[in-house]
Amino acid sequence: EKNVVQAEIDFIKAMGVEFKTGVEVGKDVTIDDLRKQGYEAFYVAIGAQGGRKLGVPNEDAKGVLSGVDFLRGVNLGSEPKLHGKVVLMGGGNVAIDVARTAKRWGVYSVILYCLESRDIMTAAKDEIAEAEGEGITINNSWGVKEFVKNPDGSLKSVVLKKCTAVFDKDHKFNPTYDEANLQEVPCDY
């Protein structure tokens, strides 16, 4: 919640930390410049993440959004006004944040699908429980095969395929699927 984040920022400021926003390291200032100013240690937090494409057909449909872009829009007050049925992909904290935010914005149906089985989801367990407590349905072991467009280019549905394994024998991310086990889920976003 924004008030909790602000309280944390205020606490850090009270400890004497100075925040400089709108500064691009490497463009506006360099590490060498900072060293010349007397700084001896540096913490680099990359932030400003971008959403990832899935590389599946029709992900250019109107209504297909990245979670990071949606959350950024909400925080900047420029979020798309979601309505209808929202289907999310992801098993991490960003996906849970998107699901909970969409639900709080009044979307009547928010369903989350993720590649991982419940026991290996990367989202915090308490976040998962709170999301379900808010009425968000979580379906494990599914991945996107493709998006289906309406004639006007808007999103009609998402076709999902059953994920049989997320990691290979060397425990590297390498999902495998049962391409015969599909489901098509109607959605607006």
Q: What is the pLDDT of residues 64-112, one digit of tens each?
A: 999 888 888 888 888 777 889 999 999 999 999 999 999 988 888 999 9
Enumerate helices (H) and strands (E) in the chain, giving the number of each: 5, 6
Distance CA 188, CA 64 (A): 9
Rounded Cα distance, 7 and 2, in Å: 9
* pLDDT grade for 22, boundaries at 50, 70 and 90: confident
> Cβ(161)–Cβ(177) under 8 Å?
yes
From the number of C-beta atoms within 10 Å of its C-beta (0-12, 13-18, 19+), residue 70 rates as buried
Tens-place pLDDT, residues 102-153: 998 888 899 999 999 999 999 999 999 999 999 999 999 999 999 999 999 9
The most distant pair of C-alpha atoms in the chain lies apart, rounded to whole Å, by 62
